[in-house]
């Protein structure tokens, strides 16, 4: 069993029956009191923040979590079918694990899947940035680039994003999957 000395950023710890990932931790030694660890964790199932305190030397329940790169193949109802490119093993995971960023998911994308010691997937993570082609947008007015005005555009996954006026149909753009924001045009090399 691990102790508080094993706490580090990114570690997974069981707290009150919930698995959390350490976001921040701080070792504090108050006057005339035993040393403590203030730990901020993110619940891997719900995404809620958990704040807890441990006394120095307390036993904690660390969880070993492996992160695998899996390729998205296709959607089967409410599930995503992912494949390990090294073993060709396929697994099905609930699409809801991706949250709102699923609107930017495209076949053949590589996703990061965290799997706990019991071989149960606990989270799926999209790449932070994806390059997608605009399939529909209203044409911009030539020369109207001085303002930061944005217009709606539909991308190849069917999602709608806001893009600058100079972006036309067929343009490849980079999108931040965490915020859904347009970042830049991507030029093919």
DSSP 124-161: EE--SEEEEEEEEEPPPPTT--SS--EEEEEETTS-EE
Burial class (CB in 10 A: 0-12, 13-18, 19+), 113: buried
| Integer Cα distance of 133 and 171 in angstroms | 6
Mean pLDDT confidence for 87-104: 91
Residue 137: what pLDDT? 92
Mean pLDDT confidence for 154-173: 92
Residue 30: what pLDDT? 83
H or E stretch including 189?
none
Residue 189: what pLDDT? 65
Q: Is residue 142's pLDDT more than 70?
A: no
Domain boundaries, the chain: 2-63, 66-125, 130-185
Burial class (CB in 10 A: 0-12, 13-18, 19+), 101: buried
Please answer whether residues 175 and 129 qualify as being in contact, where contact means their C-beta atoms are separated by less than 8 angstroms.
yes
Closest CA to 37 of 18, 19, 59, 20: 59
Beta-sheet pairing, 160-164 with 150-155: antiparallel
Mean pLDDT confidence for 62-80: 93
Q: Which fold has domain 130-185?
A: OB fold (Dihydrolipoamide Acetyltransferase, E2P) (2.40.50)
Closest CA to 103 of 28, 156, 49, 35: 156
CATH of 2-63, one of 2.30.30.30, 2.40.128.120, 1.25.40.10, 3.40.50.720: 2.30.30.30
Using left for φ > 0, alpha for ψ between -120 and 50, and beta otherwise, residue 77 falls in left
2-63 shares its CATH topology with 66-125: no
DSSP helix, strand, coil percent of the chain (3-state; round to 5): 5, 55, 40
| Domain 66-125 is found in CATH 2.40.50.140 | yes
| pLDDT level of residue 5 (50, 70, 90 thresholds) | confident
Distance in angstroms between the alpha carbons of the first and the last residue of the chain: 52
Cβ atoms within 10 Å, residue 173: 20
């Amino acid at each position: 069993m691990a102790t508080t000395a094993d706490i580090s950023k990114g570690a997974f710890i069981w707290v009150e029956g919930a698995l959390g990932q350490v976001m921040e931790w701080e070792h504090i030694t108050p006057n005339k009191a035993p040393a403590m660890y203030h730990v901020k964790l993110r619940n891997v199932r719900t995404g809620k923040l958990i704040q807890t305190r441990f006394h120095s030397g307390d036993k904690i329940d660390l969880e070993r979590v492996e992160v695998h790169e899996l390729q998205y193949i296709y959607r089967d109802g409410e599930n995503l079918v992912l494949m390990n490119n090294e073993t060709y093993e396929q697994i099905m995971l609930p699409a809801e694990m991706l949250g709102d960023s699923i609107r930017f998911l495209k076949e053949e994308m590589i996703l990061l899947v965290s799997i706990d010691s019991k071989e149960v997937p606990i989270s799926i993570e999209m790449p932070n940035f994806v390059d997608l082609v605009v399939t529909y947008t209203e044409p911009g007015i030539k020369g109207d680039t001085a303002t930061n005005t944005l217009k709606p555009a539909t991308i190849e996954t069917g999602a709608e994003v806001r893009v600058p006026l100079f972006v036309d149909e067929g343009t490849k753009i980079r999108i931040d999957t965490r915020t859904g924001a347009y970042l830049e045009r991507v030029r093919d090399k």
